[in-house]
Structure 1
Amino acid sequence: MTRSRRTALGLLLVAGLGLSTAACGGAAQPASGGKIVITVNGQAPQTQAFERRIFDEDVAAFEAAHPNIDIQPREGFMDPKVFSAKLAGGQLEDVFYVYFTDPAQIIARRQAADITDHVQGIPELQPRLLDVFKDGKGRLYGLPTANYSMGLLYNRALFTKAGLDPDKPPATWEEVRAAAKKISALGNGTVGFADLSKNNQGGWHLTSWLYSVGGQVARQEGSGWRADFNNDKGREALRYLREMRWTDDSMGSKQLLEVADVQRMMGAGQLGMYIAAPDNIPTLVNQFNGSYTDYGMAPLPGGKGTLIGGEGYMINPKAGPEKIKAGLTWLRWKYLNPDRIESNLKRYAELKQPVGLPVSPFSDIYAGPVRERQETLKAKYATVPVGNYQSFVNSSGTVKGSIEPPNAQRVYAALDSLMQAVLTDRDADVDRLLAEAETKVNSALAQAG
């Protein structure tokens, strides 16, 4: 699911990116004796005061360091419904924001510039993230600037109370099941494990379950896609849910939940575990009165896969070489600049923002020495308990990550019924439900374009 937009605020940093000297060794040469003007989106609206402040400060600092480039920021991000019309009408920004679900279609439709010849060797970025921006021939059309992956968010306080070791979170779904039973046994309305099942969020989470057991929602066949969950992997994921809900009674009686419901339960100290991305942690603290010390984050149990998402930027296909160079100069300076790691960490700490969480603006998109350096600096300036999330951080880049399926929201809507039936009907016919959902998902995939 495309969750709330993962805001890239300015510390998405990578060393050794190796952009060519022409592209990023300094400011691009001005055209006709004047500044090179580029439009860029991704500016937060004024209602998001902190994010807007960071973006605008970075624009001013960049222009001071690159006097030959004029950045003209635009509010907004990616809206697939109007993207093609903006491009055709000449309204698309020179440097534009995309979710990980966007590049494949944009590349296929030739709606982004090929930047391969302007970018040389990128050893410090996780290959799986770069692959999102490549075509079948390995040509590169954009750069990732942030990512997230799904994991197991758990309540360390409840783990301790239930006699579980909060420093050893469950690594398999059987261990999740056992831990959920112990937490539920605490009584007083405590729920061991909860999951979502409405407003497309159930299908989103079922997709994460499928990836975690080595399955997938859909497979590519030629230029199209087909559903691929009406099989043993699909039945395995649903079996765990069914057993926790009905055999163990560790998921509580209240179902048809969405994300705000489980966040409220976790914030109130009444929930042991749920599937989530790390950006849920500050939400639990800021909106539901939680405490950073009470939460831990682990990779999805099973270790066979996880759902990943994220964001990046691409260049308008109508942009000339000078605009491409200027755009890449901006992207490297703002999002992929190793020299700004420590200064940005200090800035966020001084502005009373949490430092040390595995979330944007400290997204884990890196590999190699720069990632090690960033993790060391995050620990140095941390304002939250970094160790609570270490097992999740350690798994990054080592567990297979799969992005959302094409036409994801319609796919998730079709899968909601599976989650709802299994969680509300003890006698649900799983085989029939899988077959019905398969038909609906195939219809959604056929319309993906």
Structure 2
Amino acid sequence: MNNLKKVTMGAVAVSLAASMAACGDAGTGGSGGKEAAAPGNAGADAAKSGKQVEITFANWISVEDGTKEAYNQLIADFEKKNPNIKVKSIGIPFAQFKDQVLVSSAGGNPPDVSMSNQNFTPAFAGAKVAEPLESLLGQDMIGDIVDGSKAGVTINGKVMAMPWAPHPSALFWNKNLFKKAGLDPEQPPKTWDDMVAAAKKIAALGKDEKGNPIYGIGENGASDSYTGNMLLRLAYTYGGKFVDDKGAIVYDQGTGLKDSLNYLKDAINNKISPKGAMMKDLRPMFANNALGMLIDGDFGRTNFRSMSGKGEAFDKEWGVTIVPAGKSGRSETVFTEHQLVVTSGSKHKAEAAEFVKYLVSKDAMAIYHKLNGVMSSRKSIAALPEMNEDAYAKVFNEQMKTASPMPSANPKFDNAMQVSTDMIVMVTEGGKSPDEAISTVIPKIKELYK
């Protein structure tokens, strides 16, 4: 099993406190787009002073190979449009991100702006790290958020993060392996059962010419919260639900979770999917013809081009389509969303808000979409022709229509998702039945939520 490394909290507090100390006390605002400044914004007064403000931005995209170039171009464009605001990057690996931001903020040195996602934002809100955004961003921008994304960042009636890139997951299929398995390489599976059958045929190929194992589909099996998110996605496919309308845990009710665990047990134990895999393991496998199918986000094309070593030429070897419908009767996926938080401890909230406005603006999304294929969480931008320029973009915009927000209002949601992966370990490595795994783990999740 692949496990998240635990963060040494004291060391993190010291090192991050030093790196996140902001400098300067006045500056300018400027959105870099068409959005008007929110009422009461101090950015205009700061602009008159001519002084430069440095804001800190905690993020993981500046330290990941697939997104470094996009990050550099975004910062350069923002600083060109806003010469009185300097952005200092605090790059943190994703696996350590939530803990480091929480520790640094608790120590009195929060970043001005922090990346977040559907798992982290409830924890940031619960720890009072996140600032409500309605007054900072303005109602026009808040009202422009895609409904599913807005629901995922609204906690106790307040918008606590600005959705940036929604990342709905779609189904990628490897045409080379489809052909070798006797499947039509130009026809992806139309139903969930068709997908499972195709995965079994591809896995039956056994090994490639170099003796490396070939798997039919990649399902996450590591002990991390992202794997918990993907288990929840499977449960939705099988008709399950995590919480009811009042926020009470109902994950163990019905057969959705049990059916999901049975599917994973069969897939992993019969070597249709690799054991204990993280997404960072599955992506290069797909790009190197060791994995027949993978449900992944809109940045997949950029990743696969790079990991295959073939660049754009690799596009001929795979296709992408919406996730096949299962027991629920619809194409089920979830927003594995990148979000943006203005911290409550920021000394430069006006400038931080201008940076957030820029990152979700038309200009910024044009850069990010061109380089990484990401979609926009804003209705007005998602509908633009340049965001729907090819079949690839259209698939993900179509997938957004049935993507579900994470039921993540509880600050312990991220913890619950990680604990839920114990059920996968129990059924795939511990010899337990799904019923035994559910009866052992769900009470622990319910205890977390008390």
Find out whether 1:126 has 2:153 as its counterpart.
Answer: no
Unaligned runs of 5+ in 2: 5-30, 208-212
Find out whether 1:394 has 2:395 as its counterpart.
Answer: no
Question: 2: distance between equivalents of 1:388 and 1:66?
Answer: 33
Q: Summarize the Cα distance change of 1:23–1:178 in structure 2 as closer, same or farther, 3 Å threshold.
A: farther
Question: 1: distance between equivalents of 2:38 and 2:417?
Answer: 44
Question: 2: distance between equivalents of 1:46 and 1:149?
Answer: 21
The aligned runs of 1:195-214 (5 Å cut-off) are 195-200=219-224, 203-214=228-239
**Residue type of the alignment partner of 1:398:** T
**Structure-1 residue corresponding to 2:27:** none
Question: 1: distance between equivalents of 2:106 and 2:428?
Answer: 46
Question: 2: distance between equivalents of 1:2 and 1:298?
Answer: 31
Question: 1: distance between equivalents of 2:318 and 2:357?
Answer: 33
Question: 2: distance between equivalents of 1:45 and 1:392?
Answer: 21
Question: 1: distance between equivalents of 2:284 and 2:353?
Answer: 41
**Which of residues 246, 255, 259 in structure 2 aligns to 1:232?**
255
Question: 1: distance between equivalents of 2:384 and 2:186?
Answer: 21
Find out whether 1:301 has 2:313 as its counterpart.
Answer: no
Q: What is the SS of the residue equivalent to 2:44? A: coil
1:10-46 Cα shifts (integer Å, max 9, x gaps): xxxx99985446589x962227834362513146798
Shift of 1:209: 0.8
Question: 1: distance between equivalents of 2:203 and 2:123?
Answer: 45
Question: 2: distance between equivalents of 1:255 and 1:45?
Answer: 27
Shift of 1:419: 2.6
Shift of 1:91: 1.8
**Structure-2 residue corresponding to 1:173:** 192
Asked if the contact 2:164/2:339 (under 8 Å) is kept, the reply is yes
Shift of 1:332: 2.1
**Structure-2 residue corresponding to 1:276:** 296
Question: 2: distance between equivalents of 1:260 and 1:135?
Answer: 30
Asked if the contact 1:305/1:401 (under 8 Å) is kept, the reply is no
Question: 1: distance between equivalents of 2:80 and 2:219?
Answer: 49
Question: 2: distance between equivalents of 1:364 and 1:214?
Answer: 28
Question: 2: distance between equivalents of 1:125 and 1:416?
Answer: 31
Q: What is the SS of the residue equivalent to 1:35? A: coil
Q: CA RMSD in A?
A: 4.2
1:146-182 Cα shifts (integer Å, max 9, x gaps): 2323333321222244444445422432121222233
The aligned runs of 1:368-447 (5 Å cut-off) are 368=380, 370-376=382-388, 378-379=389-390, 387=391, 390-402=394-406, 407=412, 410-423=415-428, 428-446=432-450
**Residue type of the alignment partner of 1:101:** N
Unaligned runs of 5+ in 1: 4-13, 349-354, 380-386
Asked if the contact 1:113/1:141 (under 8 Å) is kept, the reply is yes
Query: Which runs of 4 or more aligned residues in structure 1 lie more than 6 Å from their structure 2 counterparts after TM superposition?
Result: 14-17, 43-50
Q: Summarize the Cα distance change of 1:245–1:299 in structure 2 as closer, same or farther, 3 Å threshold.
A: same
Shift of 1:145: 1.6
**Structure-2 residue corresponding to 1:140:** 159
1:70-99 Cα shifts (integer Å, max 9, x gaps): 324142358443545544554223333323
User: Identity of counterpart residues, as a percentage?
Assistant: 17
Asked if the contact 1:143/1:312 (under 8 Å) is kept, the reply is yes
Shift of 1:440: 3.3
Question: 2: distance between equivalents of 1:211 and 1:193?
Answer: 18
Question: 2: distance between equivalents of 1:345 and 1:47?
Answer: 16
Asked if the contact 1:17/1:124 (under 8 Å) is kept, the reply is no
**Structure-1 residue corresponding to 2:21:** none
Asked if the contact 2:133/2:159 (under 8 Å) is kept, the reply is yes
**Structure-2 residue corresponding to 1:28:** 44
Asked if the contact 2:123/2:411 (under 8 Å) is kept, the reply is no
Judge which range, 147-156 or 26-35, deviates more. Answer: 26-35
Question: 2: distance between equivalents of 1:260 and 1:59?
Answer: 26
Judge which range, 410-419 or 143-152, deviates more. Answer: 410-419
**Structure-2 residue corresponding to 1:91:** 109
**Structure-2 residue corresponding to 1:9:** none
Question: 2: distance between equivalents of 1:84 and 1:259?
Answer: 24
**Which of residues 90, 95, 119 in structure 2 aligns to 1:75?**
90
Q: Summarize the Cα distance change of 1:436–1:169 in structure 2 as closer, same or farther, 3 Å threshold.
A: same
Shift of 1:406: 5.2
Judge which range, 309-318 or 52-61, deviates more. Answer: 52-61
Question: 2: distance between equivalents of 1:242 and 1:207?
Answer: 15
Q: What is the SS of the residue equivalent to 1:274? A: strand
Find out whether 1:39 has 2:55 as its counterpart.
Answer: yes
Q: What is the SS of the residue equivalent to 1:148? A: coil
**Which of residues 359, 377, 385 in structure 2 aligns to 1:365?**
377
Question: 1: distance between equivalents of 2:429 and 2:3?
Answer: 26
Asked if the contact 1:150/1:278 (under 8 Å) is kept, the reply is yes
**Structure-1 residue corresponding to 2:7:** none
